[in-house]
Structure formats: C-alpha cells, structure tokens
Structure 1
Amino acid sequence: MYNKFSKQSHKFKGFTLIELMVTIAIVAILAAIALPSYQNYIKRSNIKAAQTDLVTLSLVFENYYQRNLSYPNQDYTTTSALSASTAFPQWSASKIDIFEFSSTKVDSGKGYELKATAKDSSNLKGCILKLSNTNLRTATTSCDGKTTW
C-alpha cells in the first residue's frame, strides 16, 4: 500500500554558500594578480605609441630638411602647433590624450630635439621621451624604468 506520509528524499540542486564564497575568493585572487599586469601592459603600449610618433615626426623633419636644406628654424611648443603647421601636414599624433609633443631648434636651426611629455592626467606622469636629429633617444626613469629607448 502506498503511504503518502512516507519520507521522500529531496535532492536540492544548486550551490552552497561555502562553494560560492570559495569561487569568489579564487576569482578575486586571479583579478588581483592580473590587474597590475594589465595596467603595466597599457603603460608600455602607450610609451611605444609615443616613441613611434616621435620617430614619425623625426622622419617628417628629415623630409623638411631634404626639401629646404635646413631644419625648421622655430620651436613648436604643443602638439596642436605641430599639427597645425603647414610644414608638417602629414603628421598627427596617435596618443594626444596621454602625451604632449613639442620640438625645439638646436644650434640655430642646424638640428632639432623632439619631446613627448606625458600629461599629468595620465598614469605616466613624469615620463619624458626625447629624440634628436643625431638619433639620440633618451627617456626619464618614469618611462618604464629605462633611460634610453
């Protein structure tokens, strides 16, 4: 005879609170390891982009020299001044939100020094990259700990 009051075993499906807490702890540990590495990767990629922009600007300066037999005889103090110049219409910076680009004439226009300075609002504060017409490439230690590139 069927007893409707007999004990039936109930199997609950799902996770216990302990299993859920262990999973959250493991995810938190993995995130704590991965986040600094990712931020370091972003910094290095921004520095590489600024270096590429400096090399490209250097090629534009050398092209100017080939056309005029002299380097530009004026200083460009901002990225917008370099971009707005009629002498360099083919150059535009890729990281204008992170770096400010400028150029300085050297030796009365017989050379130049290009500079990319990290803006204070970026996570690279204090990073300054320089490139001269003699291909001297320097950086501050705030730029990934290296002084040359």
Structure 2
Amino acid sequence: MSKYYNLKFNRGFTLIELMVTLLTLAILVAIAVPSYQSYARRATASAVKSEILKLAERLEQHKSRNFTYRGFTTTSVTLTRGGYTIQITDDTTAGNLLTSSAANGQTWMIRATTTDSRNLNFIAKNSGLRCQSLTATAVDNDCGGTTTCNTCEANSESWQ
C-alpha cells in the first residue's frame, strides 16, 4: 500500500495547479510593471531637475565672474535617460542662445523637453519660475500670451 501511495502523489503537477500558478504570477506582473514604470519616470524626472539646478548654479557662477550670462558655453545637454534635451537660452521671446551676440545676457531660461509623451517637460528661469507639464507647449517661453511670466501656464504646474 505504501508503494501505491508514493506513486500516486509523485506524478507531478496537475494542469489546474499550473494554471493557478500562472494566473497568480500574471496578476503580480500586471500590478508590478506599471508601478515600476511610474517609479522609473519619477526617478528620471528627479535626475532632470537635478541637472537643471546644476546648470542654473553654473549660470550664476558665470554671471558672478563675467557680470553677464552671455557667453555661457553649455547651450544644450542631452540626457539619454528619458530622451531629454536640455536647452539654455536667454529669457526673451526670441530665445537666443547665450553664446549669440543677440542674447541680452541679463536673463536665462533652461528648458528640458522629452520625446516620450509620458515624461514631464520642464522649464526654469532666472526669475525663479519653475514649471513642469506633460505637454511641451505648456513649458515654452510665450508666457501664455502675457508679457511677464510670473506663473506657470495653463496645463502646467510649479516644481521645487
């Protein structure tokens, strides 16, 4: 009897047991993958904000030595993580590069745009204005049609 008992339970897994295991695994993956993607997007956004703040600090150091922002040589930075391109221009509607002779040299704007529609776009200005949005046009330099940019445009929010 002992021999029959051992053979009966040592045949392997039933199809039902395998299906239940696969279903449980599929549910766990369905929960974990979107959560991880959200975490990765937040981490990328933090890295971009950090890079913007580093560039802002370097801009202020440049102005303290030269009394102008004009001539700041780092005009564009590409971050492979998240497909971001960071551009530095003067804070005018013309948006001249700081290396251009047409730049006013008294203001700057850092704009980080991405090719991924699920990642945020960012803007930071020497006036202290910092905005983020999923749409790139909400963080451009047209100030929402007004002449002064004191607040973030529609469809964007401030970031610290």
Is the aligned partner of 1:99 residue 2:95? no
Q: Which has the higher contact order (CA 8 A, sep 6+)?
A: 1
What percent identity do the matched residue pairs reach?
A: 31
Matches within 5 A, 1:66-81: 66-72=64-70, 78-79=76-77
What is the SS of the residue equivalent to 2:9?
A: coil
Please give the TM-score of this superposition, normalised by the length of structure 1.
Answer: 0.72
Structure 1 residues 74 and 61, CA gap change in structure 2 (3 angstroms):
closer
Instruction: Decide which of 57, 61, 71 is 1:59's aligned counterpart.
Output: 57
CA displacement, residues 3-62 of structure 1 (integer Å, 9 cap, x when unaligned):
xxx9x5133322211111101000101111111111111111111110100000000000
Q: Cα distance, 1:72 vs. partner?
A: 2.0
CA displacement, residues 66-107 of structure 1 (integer Å, 9 cap, x when unaligned):
11111125796632xxxxxxxxxxxxx6x3352101011136
Q: Cα distance, 1:138 vs. partner?
A: 0.7
Provide the rounded CA distance (Å) in 1 between the counterparts of 2:117 and 2:31: 19
* Higher Cα radius of gyration: 1
Please give the TM-score of this superposition, normalised by the length of structure 2.
Answer: 0.67
2:99 paired residue number: none
What is the SS of the residue equivalent to 1:138?
A: strand
What is the SS of the residue equivalent to 1:21?
A: helix
Is this contact kept in 1: 2:123–2:131, CA < 8 A?
yes
Structure 2: segments with no counterpart, 5+ residues = 93-103, 137-154
Number of equivalenced pairs: 126
Of stretches 96-105 and 59-68 in structure 1, the one that deviates more from structure 2 is 96-105
Matches within 5 A, 1:1-149: 9=4, 10-13=7-10, 14-72=12-70, 78-79=76-77, 95-97=79-81, 98-106=83-91, 108-118=104-114, 120=115, 122=116, 124=118, 127-142=120-135, 147-149=157-159
Structure 1 residues 128 and 61, CA gap change in structure 2 (3 angstroms):
same
Structure 1: segments with no counterpart, 5+ residues = 1-5, 80-92
